[in-house]
Amino acid sequence: MNPDLFEPYDHLIEITVNGTIRRVPSNNTILRCLQYLYMESISHADLCWNGDCLNCRVRISQNGKQKTAYACIVKAEEGMEIETVSPELQVDTEDAS
């Protein structure tokens, strides 16, 4: 895994992706965390990584609230639930690392 892709982190946090609990780097955007889990598919997806393309939409639930967010902008937080992801992200919970 290429550590230069991720913001510096000192521990892993737990988030839920499509109903499955996963451990991902703290201090990183949702998109980088998804890349940590699904390196191949996220690295080759049609994404701009800066919010311009809008291809990284996710539906998150946190503290009883749901919202749509852009995975390249919003940082992942402990306990966050990612309920749906845009088709461009091509995440398959069976293939997570």
Q: Which of 2, 3, 8, 1 is nearest to 26 (CA)?
A: 8
pLDDT at 74: 96
* 96/59: higher pLDDT: 59
Residues 48-69 have a mean pLDDT of: 92
Structure tokens at 71: 């995975």
* Cβ atoms < 10 Å from Cβ of 22: 21
> Tell me: the pLDDT tens digits for 74-85?
999 999 999 999
Please name each of the domains of the chain with its CATH number. 14-89 (3.10.20.30)
Question: How many helices (DSSP H) and strands (DSSP E) are in the chain?
Answer: 2, 5
DSSP line for 51-65: SSS-TTEEEEEETTE
What is this structure's pTM?
Answer: 0.88
> Tell me: the pLDDT tens digits for 42-57?
988 899 999 899 999 9
Task: Looking at the chain, list the stretches that DSSP marks H as alpha helix, in order from N- to C-terminal side.
Answer: 30-37, 39-43
pLDDT at 63: 83
